[in-house]
Every structure is written in structure tokens, then in C-alpha cells.
């Protein structure tokens, strides 16, 4: 319960912060719409030449785009800025302030920074998913919806663990600040179902930078391209990565020397 | 002239040492540069395979050649101008550059050239790997290579000047990220990085002739692949030259006006 209260507190704090910069909201809406136009433009170009892309119909790819926006919106809303802040804190030694509180440090560093305006991307993703579902309406069952939500949660956990591991590297090297950008630039590949990529790239996007699990698997579950094996695999990987990243985080913490040392 | 050469030599050395400090950043920039054409190559290969191996006159091997050439052209014409101009104006990093008895554009030209030279170490092996992975069809005649190199040289100069001039907008706009994004999306589509321009609807194709984007990346690639006749190539080179002159004039005007404004902000 404390966690929920803390989460609300952090959200409120950053909301107060962000509400002072309202033009940022306009800029964010502009940038998100631009991203949407680019994404839809790409789809229009491709589907002007073909009816299905690697077995995916237009409405199904719209669902992929919806998940793509939803996941990136959520990551940029809280996880990415919090991890960026963690790396700065390690560098400056200000992580002391978090370590001296009685709450779990991993939880605090994961939610300490919220970029409120990124909710625009989340809303856009939900809207895209809505449109995709309306178009697919007839084929959508209850089982698929459940599989989709489980897949989405598992994908979120996988991406979170992955980013935590990347950020934890900063305990060993201060040169790391740009390391999170690796994920950002690889994430762009998630706009398209990863099944269309050549095997080496598909393997990278599944096991090295787990974008396939974050976007393609939940979207596939929603439109019925994904058997239960994919979802079970995603859940298993999510569990393993959560444990592994937790372990890595404790290891990193032991390396932390603090500002006063 | 002698002085300018000395300045460039000094700049090259400084940039070399500077860039080595940011190896990780460099590698990440390159990751995107290589990944993006691979993504669109995969997309269009999937489309072509679904239609008996070719779409819009492009076979699988021709798509591979196109996106490989796009990757190289994009790398050679790419600049950081839009990113660093924001910091220069907002945080006043321009001031020390203004104290030097030489136009800051020389610093940036030297930095850009050196960056490209250094990153070729990564780009060339990546290109070789993609040749093995995708087997592109590329059979240029010597004349096509000559035309390609001249078009590429003009494209590099044009894109550098366009992005540098656009960067000067930072004197007037404080949130450059919106400008950057708008430009990035326009460039992505209209310079042929998402798909060969001949796959676009006709009105868009007409627009690309009149806009500068095509002449900054797609044109040299089309010349290399033999998609332009001799006449079209000459017209294209002329279009590049025209845009170059126009941009240069705009740059001179914007630079003066911007400097006046910068002084006002600093006071």
C-alpha cells in the first residue's frame, strides 16, 4: 500500500512541476502527432502495394502500432526518465538521498521521475488500439483480450528489467549516460512485426534487446497471430528477467561509494 | 589560404581527440544509421516476396542495392548541426566560437568531415556484412560512378548547408526539438529513406522534385542504380547547384540576423 501512496506522490510532484511548463504540452502534442503521421504514412505506402505484409493485414498492423505507442509512451512516462535520473544520481553521489530512506531503493529509483506530457503517446496508443479493434471487431474473443493484457504486462516487465540492467551499469562506469539510447534506437524496429526481419535481426530483437516481446507478442495475441506458447514464453522470460535484474541491481549497489566516501 | 589550411589541420586534430572521448555516443548514432535502412529493406523485401519477387519495378536484389546505397549516402551527408545549435544558443556555447578570428562554420565543416572519416571504420564493415546478407544487384558503368560521386559531393554540401541554416533557427526558437522532429520526418520520407521515391503517389513525387530533400540523399543513389537518364542526371545536378546557391544566400542572411539577436540575448 505504501508503494501505491508513494507512486501517487511522485506523480503529483511531477505533475505540479510539468504544469508550470504548459507550452511543453503543445510541443509534445505536435511531436506525437508528427510521429503518428509518419507511422501511418509508412503503413499507407506499404499497403498501397500489397494486401498483407508477412501475413499481417492493415488493421492488424494498426494494432501493432497501437502497442508500439502505448509501450513507448509508458516507458518514456516514468521508466526512462527515472533511469536517466538514477544514472545522474550515481554519478553525482546524490543517490545517498534515496538509500537513506526506509523504502525499497529499487522501487524508488524506478518511479522517482514522471514526465507527465508523455501521456499523450499513451492516449494515442490506446486510440490506435481502439480503431484497430473496431476494424477487427468480429474476430476478437475474450481469450485473446486476456492473452493481450498478460502479454502487455509481461512485455512491460521485460523492458523494465532490461532498462534497469542498462542503468545499473552506471555503478561501474560513469561513461554510461547514453547507454539508454541503445534501447531507444532499437525500439524503432518494433513498428513492424519482427517476423518480417531476417533471422539474425529477429534473434537480436527477441533475445538481446527484447522488443519482440514488448510489442509484437502482445499485438499478435490481440489479433490472434500468437499461440499460447508465445505468451507463456513472455511470462517466463519476464519472471526470469525481473529476478536477474534485481540481483544485478543489488550487485551494483554494493559497488556504490556515495558522495561522502 | 595558407592560414585556412592550417586552421583546418588544427581542427582535424582537435576533433579527432574530441570524438574519441565520445566513442559510445558515436557507436549509438551509427547503430541507428545502419538499422533504419535494414528495417525498410526487410519491409519492402516482405512486400516483394508476397508478389512473386518484385514490386514497382524493384526486385529483391535491387531493393537491397537501393537501401545499401541509401545507408552510405545517408552516412556521408548526415550532420549533427540541428542538435548542437540548440545548445550553442541556449547555453551560450557560441560565445567562445565568436571570439575566434574565423567563421564558426569552418569548425563545423572540419568536425563533420573528420566524423565521417572516423565512422567509416564502422560503416564499411557494416556495409560489407549487409552485402553478404542481402546480395544486392549493383552493376554501375564508370560514367555512372563519376556522375554518382559528383551528385554525392553536391548532396553532402547541400545537406550540410541546409541543416546548418535550419540550426540557426535556434536564435529565434527555444524548443528546437519540434523543428528537429518535423525536419526528420520530412527528410525520412521525401529523401527516399522509407522507400524509393518512384513508389510514392505521383503528387508526392512531383513535390520531391521541387523540395530540397530529394537532392540531399535520394538523387545520388538513383544515379548509381541507373534509374536516371543522362539528361535527368544533368537536370538533377543543376537542381542541386541551384539549391546550394539559394541555401548559401539564406545562410548568410540568417547568420547576420541571428547574431544580432544573440548579442541581444547575451546582454
- For residue range B164-190, what is the model confidence (pLDDT) as tens digits? 999 999 988 877 888 999 999 999 999
Q: Which tops the pLDDT comparison, B22 or B267?
A: B22
Q: Is B188 on the interface with A (CB under 8 A)?
A: yes
Between these two residues, B237 and A172, which has the higher pLDDT value? B237
Work out the widest C-alpha separation in chain A, in whole angstroms. Answer: 64
Residue A26: CB atoms within 10 Å:
12
Measured between CB atoms, does A37 come within 8 Å of chain B? yes
pLDDT tens digits for range A39-70: 999 999 999 988 888 889 999 999 999 999 99
Say yes or no: B262 contacts chain A, CB-CB below 8 A. Answer: no
- Residues A133-185: tens digit of each pLDDT: 888 876 677 888 888 999 999 999 999 999 999 899 888 876 656 778 888 88
- Per-residue model confidence (pLDDT) at position B206: 93
Interface of B with A in 84-113 (CB under 8 A): none
Average pLDDT estimate for B100-126: 85
Cell numbers representing residue B71 in the block: 545507408
B51 at A interface, C-beta within 8 A? yes
Return the percentage of chain A with pLDDT > 70, whole number: 96
Q: How much is the pLDDT for B40?
A: 94
- CA-based nearest residue to A226, from A123, A151, A135, A138: A151
Tally C-beta pairs within 8 A across A and B: 85
Q: What is the pLDDT of residue A138?
A: 63
CB within 8 Å of B225: residues ≥ 6 apart:
B62, B65, B66, B69, B138, B140
Provide the mean pLDDT of chain B.
Answer: 88
Per-residue pLDDT band for B155 (boundaries 50, 70, 90) equals: very high
Q: What is the DSSP letter of B54?
A: E
Evaluate if residue B111 carries a pLDDT over 60: yes
Whether A38 and B185 lie within 8 Å, measured CB to CB:
yes
pLDDT of residue B267: 42
* Helix (H) or strand (E) segment spanning residue B240: helix B230-266
Closest CA to A63 of A229, A187, A224, A235: A224
pLDDT-above-90 percentage for chain A: 35
Chain B residues in contact with A65 by the CB 8 A cut-off are none
Mean per-residue pLDDT for B196-219?
94
Q: How far apart are CA A84 and CA A77, in angstroms?
A: 12
In chain B, what percentage of residues exceed pLDDT 90? 48
Is A188's CB within 8 Å of B32's CB? yes
Mean pLDDT is lowest, of A114-128, A178-192, B12-26, for B12-26
Q: What is the pLDDT of residue A261?
A: 45
pLDDT beyond 60 at B114: yes
- Tell me which H or E stretch contains A70: helix A58-74
Amino acid at each position: 500500500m505504501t508503494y501505491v501512496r508513494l507512486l501517487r506522490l511522485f506523480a503529483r510532484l511531477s505533475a505540479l512541476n510539468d504544469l508550470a511548463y504548459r507550452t511543453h504540452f503543445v510541443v509534445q502534442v505536435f511531436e506525437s502527432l508528427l510521429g503518428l503521421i509518419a507511422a501511418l504514412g509508412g503503413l499507407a505506402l506499404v499497403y498501397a502495394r500489397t494486401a498483407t505484409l508477412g501475413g499481417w493485414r492493415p488493421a492488424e498492423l494498426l494494432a501493432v502500432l497501437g502497442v508500439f505507442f502505448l509501450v513507448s509512451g509508458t516507458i518514456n512516462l516514468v521508466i526512462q526518465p527515472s533511469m536517466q535520473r538514477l544514472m545522474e544520481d550515481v554519478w553525482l553521489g546524490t543517490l545517498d538521498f534515496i538509500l537513506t530512506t526506509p523504502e525499497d531503493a529499487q522501487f524508488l529509483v524506478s518511479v522517482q521521475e514522471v514526465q507527465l506530457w508523455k501521456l499523450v503517446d499513451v492516449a494515442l496508443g490506446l486510440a490506435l488500439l481502439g480503431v484497430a479493434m473496431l476494424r477487427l471487431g468480429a474476430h476478437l474473443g475474450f481469450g485473446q483480450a486476456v492473452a493481450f493484457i498478460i502479454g502487455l504486462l509481461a512485455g512491460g516487465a521485460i523492458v523494465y528489467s532490461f532498462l534497469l540492467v542498462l542503468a545499473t551499469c552506471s555503478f561501474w562506469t560513469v561513461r554510461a549516460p547514453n547507454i539508454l539510447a541503445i534501447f531507444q534506437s532499437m525500439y524503432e524496429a518494433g513498428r513492424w512485426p519482427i517476423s518480417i526481419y531476417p533471422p539474425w535481426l529477429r534473434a537480436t530483437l527477441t533475445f538481446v534487446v527484447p522488443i519482440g516481446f514488448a510489442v509484437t507478442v502482445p499485438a499478435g495475441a490481440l489479433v490472434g497471430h500468437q499461440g499460447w506458447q508465445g505468451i507463456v514464453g513472455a511470462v517466463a522470460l519476464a519472471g526470469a528477467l525481473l529476478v536477474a535484474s534485481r540481483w544485478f541491481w543489488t550487485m551494483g549497489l554494493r559497488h556504490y561509494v556515495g558522495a561522502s566516501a | 589560404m595558407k592560414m585556412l589550411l592550417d586552421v583546418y589541420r588544427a581542427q582535424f586534430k582537435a576533433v579527432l581527440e574530441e570524438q574519441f572521448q565520445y566513442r559510445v555516443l558515436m557507436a549509438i548514432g551509427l547503430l541507428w544509421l545502419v538499422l533504419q535502412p535494414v528495417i525498410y529493406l526487410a519491409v519492402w523485401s516482405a512486400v516483394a516476396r508476397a508478389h512473386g519477387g518484385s514490386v514497382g519495378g524493384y526486385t529483391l536484389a535491387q531493393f537491397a542495392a537501393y537501401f545499401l546505397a541509401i545507408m552510405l549516402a545517408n552516412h556521408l551527408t548526415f550532420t549533427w548541426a540541428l542538435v548542437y545549435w540548440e545548445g550553442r544558443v541556449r547555453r551560450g556555447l557560441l560565445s567562445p566560437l565568436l571570439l575566434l578570428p574565423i567563421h564558426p562554420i569552418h569548425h563545423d565543416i572540419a568536425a563533420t568531415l573528420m566524423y565521417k572519416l572516423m565512422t567509416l571504420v564502422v560503416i564499411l564493415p557494416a556495409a560489407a556484412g549487409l552485402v553478404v546478407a542481402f546480395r544486392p544487384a549493383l552493376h554501375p558503368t564508370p560514367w555512372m560512378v563519376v556522375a554518382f560521386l559528383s551528385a554525392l559531393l553536391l548532396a553532402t554540401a547541400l545537406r550540410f548547408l541546409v541543416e546548418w541554416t535550419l540550426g540557426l533557427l535556434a536564435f529565434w526558437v527555444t524548443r528546437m526539438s519540434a523543428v528537429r522532429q518535423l525536419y526528420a520526418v520530412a527528410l525520412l520520407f521525401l529523401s527516399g529513406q522509407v522507400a524509393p521515391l518512384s513508389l510514392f503517389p505521383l503528387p508526392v513525387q512531383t513535390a520531391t522534385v521541387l523540395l530540397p530533400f530529394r537532392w540531399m540523399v535520394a538523387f545520388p543513389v538513383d544515379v548509381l542504380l541507373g534509374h536516371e537518364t543522362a539528361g535527368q542526371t544533368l537536370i538533377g545536378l543543376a537542381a542541386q547547384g541551384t539549391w546550394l546557391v539559394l541555401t548559401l544566400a539564406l545562410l548568410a542572411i540568417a547568420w547576420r540576423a541571428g547574431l544580432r539577436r544573440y548579442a541581444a540575448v547575451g546582454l
